[in-house]
Amino acid sequence: MTTDLPSWITVFFTAVIAVATIVYVRLTARLWAQTKRSADAAMVASLAAQKSAELAAALHRPFMGLQLVTHKSGWGTDSWEIVFVLKNFGTMPALNVGLVAEFFADASGFAQVTEPASIQIFPSAEVESVIRINSHPHRVAIQSGTEKLRINVHIPYKAEDGRRFEYRAEVFYAEGLPGQPFSHLPGRFVINKSETSPVDSIQS
């Protein structure tokens, strides 16, 4: 019996070491998994904070757009006056604001007006730009609905930090109520497909 005791002790401690090793491996694996989860969560939080900061910085700038397009006078004649209401929807002043309006009857361009890029518009402020064009020879066709009036609008502007942007929109003429004489009472203008892009990303 005395000669077998050391071998039992060896077996016992070997088993204890084996169990301890298994427990250690499992605890190490759990600790690694928890550490990885914590690191992943910290990375996600860091990326979210970075994106939030970038978004806040991106939004903290001028955002020019069209608030309204309306007819002013001359609808029954070839000489039209159309009002474009430009608004700064951003949080910073818009510098060197300009306006380019291209007029089309269906696919046929018949007028283009370019206003100098020299206006400064503060946040939430609106500025009216009155454009005068000659609608001949498309006036009657547009008023009767034979041709569709479309206006491509470009509003270039600059931020205080030097970044340059351009707002683009399509404006369509929507006829008035049925039975209205288009030659005397115009319908309304609908702003469609508006977008703003940095000037560097606009394809020429």
Q: Mean pLDDT throughout 25-45? A: 74
* CA dist list (Å): 157 to 61, 66, 106: 11, 13, 29
Burial 142-161 (b: 16+ CB within 10 A, else e): bbeeebebbbbbebbbbbee
Asked if 106 contacts 129 with a C-beta cutoff of 8 angstroms, the reply is no
Half-sphere exposure of 99 (CA within 13 A, CB side): 22
Considering the chain, what percentage of its residues have pLDDT values greater than 90? 45
User: Cβ contacts of residue 141 below 8 Å, gap of 6+?
Assistant: 105, 147
Can you give the pLDDT at residue 27? 74
Please give the Cα distance from 110 to 36 (Å, whole number): 65
- Whether 72 has a pLDDT exceeding 60, the answer reads yes
Architecture of domain 64-201: Sandwich (2.60)
pLDDT score of 30 = 77
Average pLDDT value for the chain: 82
Q: What is the pLDDT of residues 3-13, one digit of tens each?
A: 555 676 666 66
Walk across the sheet containing 149-158 and list its strands. 108-121, 94-105, 149-158, 164-174, 188-198
In the structure, what pLDDT confidence band is assigned to residue 183 with cuts at 50, 70 and 90? very low
DSSP letter string over 69-91?
A: EEEEE-TTSSEEEEEEEEEE-SS
pLDDT tens for each residue of 152-182: 999 999 999 999 999 999 999 876 544 444 4
Report the range out of 18-27, 120-129, 141-150, 179-188 with the highest average pLDDT: 120-129
Higher-pLDDT residue of 102 and 30 is 102
Q: What is the pLDDT of residue 1?
A: 46
Domain residue limits, the chain: 1-59, 64-201
Q: Per-residue pLDDT for 64 more than 90?
A: yes
For 175, other C-beta atoms within 10 Å of its C-beta total 16
Which residue, 133, 118, 202, is CA-closest to 167? 202
Predicted pLDDT of residue 85? 96
How confident is the model at residue 149, as a pLDDT? 92
